[in-house]
């Protein structure tokens, strides 16, 4: 399939990003200060994410507006207004400070299902001046222990079921003083368990939000573990400036939007854009506790009239796998704008969005470390399928050579950002040396390879670790994978370099098939031929192997390092974020 070079932005698109069209990177167009002035910050040096996100709206018409509509796995619905979110998070802040002795800077971790209490608890902790750490509920005991130990967490908020899963780790966590259990199903608790419900019942509804300094820590987010052991990226309260601005201009949130972010609060997308970004903009968001299935998701989009939808390439590929007939059975008239993050978004997926919804997915690029979106496709800009878009105003992105000097457009190199944006991580927790090593020659080095075209659009090549060196050519796995998934039988593809005595590395591809296709040597040859026709000699996979599914992180990212380790019979390394088969 030949992709259109560009997908034109709709002519009636009125959301204007200040001066982005002629943004000259001078930072004059949209400065962080202009953004700061839109928000009700305490003063130039003091800001609290919880205040900007929730409580500042209480002085406005948004007071009784719905902040969160939550649908449980069973289909029960709960709705919370901004005023209720403020009231409940005040109570939780009082619980922390008055009943659990939490002081400013103490780490409070959440190992909870995707239920309202995780949202309330996180806002409450920030109000109390604590540092939050959300953990994905599907983690096993070792993954939870590593993160609680590394962060020195003092309080853990969890549920009876999840506590049972990790019961053995507690004796090994001396810093952990209190365990609070959210007991929605009213199970009998152990005598020394603290009940969230009981603690909340007696707590006052009034709380003076901590006047945190803009550089005070607010969140520790562990990275996804795609390339190695997860690191604890620590963010400060100032981060909200970047999250607010990008939610407004990249996710294009408007006052009457119904917004759905599909990421779990355990990942940075689930907090930056599943709490702080949308709520600082006063938006109503819907939260779905249930798991993924194409049917569930389509009917959720329809049922809640979702207008802005933020999801990930892996989910889009799974929806594509379920076929084109299914989505046509639903009414998506409300759906106005769709975005994607987390992995490269194959052009095939962008075009598929156009086909099914008449609008493309808008890809954007950022990392746990960057805290907010750095490079994006915007509503007013034409989409170039396969491109991550252009830097957000106020962000300077560059492509650097191996000595960390800037390269001209067209050349591949290290994707880097000029430090100083509000939501930049301020350290890797307990690993400051590693943090320092990520800054070179006045740039933050992202660890990804990319190139820029003449119009300033950035194109992802691959993670630096995944780029393949074959016969003197550097090949990014993304390019090869994108071609493979264009084949009608291929659902997913993961590409690695396999050491070779002659050409250094040869390209090996692993593919999983769509439903209805059977593995066979003919199909293998057909896919090989298909790839050969579309790729340069160097980029054509020498070997292709079928796998029932590819190893992925729990956030859905293909773990190429595992494909490689398995292929070479090497140790697998940290697999704490590996999805169960």
Q: Which residues bind ligand ATP (CB under 6 A)?
A: 223-228, 230, 341-345, 363-365, 367-368, 388, 446-448, 460, 463, 557
Partnered with residue 382 across adjacent β-strands are none
228 binds, among ligand ATP, Mg ion, none (CB under 5 to 8 A by kind): ligand ATP
What is the distance between the alpha carbons of residues 475 and 468, in angstroms, rounded to a whole number?
A: 5
Dist CA 381 CA 325 (whole Å): 30
For 117, phi and psi rounded to 5 degrees? -60, -30
Q: How far apart are CA 283 and CA 65, in angstroms?
A: 9
Q: What is the largest CA-CA distance in the chain?
A: 72
Complex with ligand ATP: residue 299 or 436, whichever CB lies closer: 436
364 binds, among Mg ion, ligand ATP, none (CB under 5 to 8 A by kind): ligand ATP
Tokens of residue 209, six digits:
């939000």
Quick check: 265 and 118 in contact, CB under 8 A?
Answer: yes
* 126 close to 49: Cβ distance less than 8 angstroms: yes
| Contact between 278 and 221 (Cβ < 8 Å) | no
Q: Whose Cβ is closer to ligand ATP: residue 346's or residue 528's?
A: 346
Spell out where 84-148 has E strands.
Answer: 107-111, 131-135
In angstroms, give the least distance from the CB of 447 to Mg ion. 6
* Three-class DSSP labels, 259-296: EEECCCCCCHHHHHHHHHHHHHCCCEEEEECCCCCHHH
What distance lies between CA 256 and its chain's CA centroid? Answer: 24
Return the exposure string of 455-478: e unless at least 16 CB atoms fall within 10 Å of the residue's CB, then b: eebbbbbbbeebbbebeeeebbbb
Residues 209-228: x where in contact with Mg ion by CB under 5 A, - otherwise, as a string: --------------x-----
Report how far Cα 205 is from the mean position of its chain's Cα atoms: 32
Q: How far is the CB of 516 from Mg ion (least distance, A)?
A: 35
Where on the phi/psi map is residue 558: left (φ > 0), alpha (ψ -120 to 50), or beta?
Answer: beta
| Nearer Cβ to ligand ATP (62/557) | 557
Kindly state the smallest distance separating residue 217's Cβ from ligand ATP, in Å.
Answer: 18
Pick 68 or 467: Cβ nearer ligand ATP: 467
Cβ closest to ligand ATP, residue 163 vs residue 554: 554
Query: What count of Cα atoms within 13 Å lies in the side-chain half-sphere of residue 324?
Result: 9
- Minimum distance between the CB of residue 560 and ligand ATP, rounded to whole angstroms? 10
The pairs formed by 27-35 with CB atoms below 8 angstroms and a separation of 24 or more are 27/393, 27/394, 29/393, 29/394, 30/245, 30/393, 30/394, 31/394, 32/241, 32/242, 32/245, 32/394, 32/421, 32/422, 35/241, 35/244, 35/245
Of residues 278 and 342, the one with the C-beta less far from ligand ATP: 342
Given ligand ATP, Mg ion, none, residue 343, with its beta carbon under 5 to 8 Å by kind, binds: ligand ATP
CA gap 496, 477 in Å, rounded: 7
As measured in angstroms, the least distance from the Cβ of 233 to ligand ATP is 8
Q: Which of 393, 476 has the CB closer to ligand ATP? A: 476
Least distance CB 224 / ligand ATP (angstroms) = 3
Query: Which is closer to Mg ion, CB of 54 or CB of 467?
Result: 467
Residue 105's binding partner among ligand ATP, Mg ion, none (Cβ under 5 to 8 angstroms by kind) is: none
Query: Which residue lies nearer to ligand ATP by CB, 203 or 351?
Result: 351
As given in the structure block, the two tokens for residue 52 are: 């900007």
Q: Select the binding partner of residue 344 from Mg ion, ligand ATP, none (C-beta < 5 to 8 A, by kind).
A: ligand ATP
Contacts for 146 with CB less than 8 Å, ≥ 6 apart: 230, 576
Q: What is the DSSP string of 108-121?
A: EEEE--SSHHHHHH
- What per-residue string of b and e applies to 292-329 under the rule 16 or more CB within 10 Å gives b? eebeebbebbbebebbbbbbbbbbbbbbbbbeeeebee
Task: Report the residue number, 304 or 459, with the smaller CB distance to ligand ATP.
Answer: 459
Closest chain position to Mg ion (CB): 223
In the complex, minimum distance from the CB of residue 367 to ligand ATP, in angstroms, rounded to a whole number: 4
Q: Which is nearer to ligand ATP, 99 or 229 (CB)?
A: 229
Give the E-state strand segments of 95-177 in sequence order: 107-111, 131-135, 155-158
Q: How far is the CB of 459 from ligand ATP (least distance, A)?
A: 9
Supply the minimum distance, in Å, between the C-beta of residue 345 and ligand ATP: 6
Residue nearer to ligand ATP on the CB measure, 94 or 224:
224
Please identify, using beta-carbon distances, which residue of 53 and 368 lies nearer to ligand ATP. 368
Q: How far is the CB of 553 from ligand ATP (least distance, A)?
A: 7
Give me the residues that bind Mg ion (CB under 5 A), please. Answer: 223
């Amino acid at each position: 399939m030949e992709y259109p070079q560009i997908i034109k932005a709709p002519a009636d698109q009125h959301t204007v990003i200040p001066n982005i069209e002629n943004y000259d990177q001078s930072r004059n167009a949209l400065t962080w200060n202009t953004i700061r002035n839109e928000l009700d910050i305490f003063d130039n040096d003091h800001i609290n994410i919880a205040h900007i996100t929730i409580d500042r709206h209480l002085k406005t018409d948004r007071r009784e507006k719905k902040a969160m509509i939550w649908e449980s796995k069973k289909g029960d619905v709960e709705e919370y207004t901004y005023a209720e979110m403020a009231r409940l998070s005040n109570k939780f802040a009082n619980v922390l400070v008055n009943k659990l002795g939490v002081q400013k800077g103490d780490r409070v971790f959440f190992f909870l299902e995707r239920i309202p209490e995780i949202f309330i608890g996180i806002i409450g902790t920030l109000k109390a001046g604590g540092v939050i750490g959300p953990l994905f509920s599907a983690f096993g005991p070792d993954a939870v222990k590593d993160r609680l130990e590394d962060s020195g967490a003092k309080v853990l908020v969890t549920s009876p079921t999840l506590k049972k899963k990790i019961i053995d780790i507690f004796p090994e966590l001396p810093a952990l003083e209190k365990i609070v259990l959210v007991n929605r199903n009213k199970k009998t608790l152990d005598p020394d368990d603290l009940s969230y419900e009981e603690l909340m019942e007696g707590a006052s509804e009034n709380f003076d939000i901590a006047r945190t300094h803009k550089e005070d820590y607010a969140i520790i987010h562990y990275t996804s573990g795609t390339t190695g052991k997860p690191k604890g990226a620590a963010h400060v309260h100032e981060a909200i400036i970047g999250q607010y601005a990008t939610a407004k201009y990249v996710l294009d949130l408007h006052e009457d939007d119904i917004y759905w972010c599909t990421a779990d609060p355990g990942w940075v997308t689930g907090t930056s854009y599943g709490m702080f970004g949308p709520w600082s903009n006063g938006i109503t968001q819907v939260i779905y506790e249930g798991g993924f299935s194409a049917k569930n998701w389509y009917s959720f989009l329809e049922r809640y009239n979702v207008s802005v939808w933020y999801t990930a390439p892996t989910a889009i590929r799974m929806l594509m796998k379920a076929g084109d007939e299914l989505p046509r059975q639903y009414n998506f008239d409300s759906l106005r704008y769709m975005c994607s993050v987390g992995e490269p978004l194959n052009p095939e997926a962008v075009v598929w969005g156009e086909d099914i919804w008449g609008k493309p997915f808008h890809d954007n690029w950022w990392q746990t470390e960057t805290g907010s979106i750095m490079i994006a496709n915007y509503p007013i800009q034409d989409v170039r399928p396969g491109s991550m878009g252009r830097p957000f105003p106020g962000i300077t992105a560059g492509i650097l050579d191996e000595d960390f000097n800037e390269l001209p457009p067209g050349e591949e190199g290290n994707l880097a950002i000029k430090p100083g944006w509000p939501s930049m991580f301020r350290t890797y927790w307990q690993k400051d040396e590693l943090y320092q090593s990520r800054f070179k020659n006045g740039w933050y080095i992202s660890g990804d390879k990319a190139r820029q075209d003449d119009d300033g659009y950035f194109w992802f090549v691959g993670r630096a670790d995944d780029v393949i060196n074959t016969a003197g050519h550097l090949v990014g796995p993304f390019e090869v994978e994108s071609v493979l998934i264009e084949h009608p039988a291929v659902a997913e593809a993961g590409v690695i370099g396999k050491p070779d005595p002659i050409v250094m590395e040869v390209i090996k591809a692993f593919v999983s098939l769509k439903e209805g296709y059977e593995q066979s040597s003919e199909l293998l040859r057909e896919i090989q031929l298909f790839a050969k026709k579309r790729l340069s000699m160097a980029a054509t996979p020498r070997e292709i192997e079928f796998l029932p599914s590819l190893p992925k992180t729990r956030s859905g990212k293909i773990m190429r390092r595992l494909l490689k380790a398995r292929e070479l019979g090497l140790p697998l390394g940290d697999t704490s974020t590996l999805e169960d088969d």
